[in-house]
Structure 1
């Protein structure tokens, strides 16, 4: 009985320590879309659309601006959930927490399909 109770407490405690990270499609993901990669690999007047595709894959949105230049938008979101734990001896449950991060990259190309400009917006809450 004591071993069973102790095993149950151990499983609940370890399970409460897990954190999960999900992408915008609901699956765990790993991406090149980071500020470090953008700053080190994307060069205005040099980086081509093909190079951007190899770095980041297909954009989330393709549009044209008022100057009729092509604009690509990338978005990466992640949510991390941390489960609370239960203190069986005190009869209290610790609160759960979560944090969200969003990363947006907007690239404007010139008439030769080369990066003319880009902007990055990163938020965490």
Structure 2
């Protein structure tokens, strides 16, 4: 599976393009029957949260098999952020984001997410 476009968007800090890009690539993979073992689930989920698209984020989370959720602490950490957003616990968003040591793909993305004009960084 070619995820170079996702990596390029992360490198370019083009975070607002990631959710539609990931959605499209995942649909293409599904239509071809391509395995998604290497799929950047945490990036995909955070991309929907970045756009404040909570319904799509929640749908994406619910569509994931339990073994995928269990296998990625980073994905679970992004979901904790999503849960805080869903419950309008904005202080919790910041706490959840700052309370995890993000990998290289998500460190800058999470920082940018917190810096968006939603008030998370004011806590």
Q: Judge same fold: TM > 0.5, yes or no.
A: no
Write 1 or 2 for the structure with the bigger share of helix.
2
Specify the structure having the higher radius of gyration (Cα): 1
* Bigger RCO of structures 1 and 2 (CA < 8 A, at least 6 apart): 1
Structure having the higher strand fraction is 1
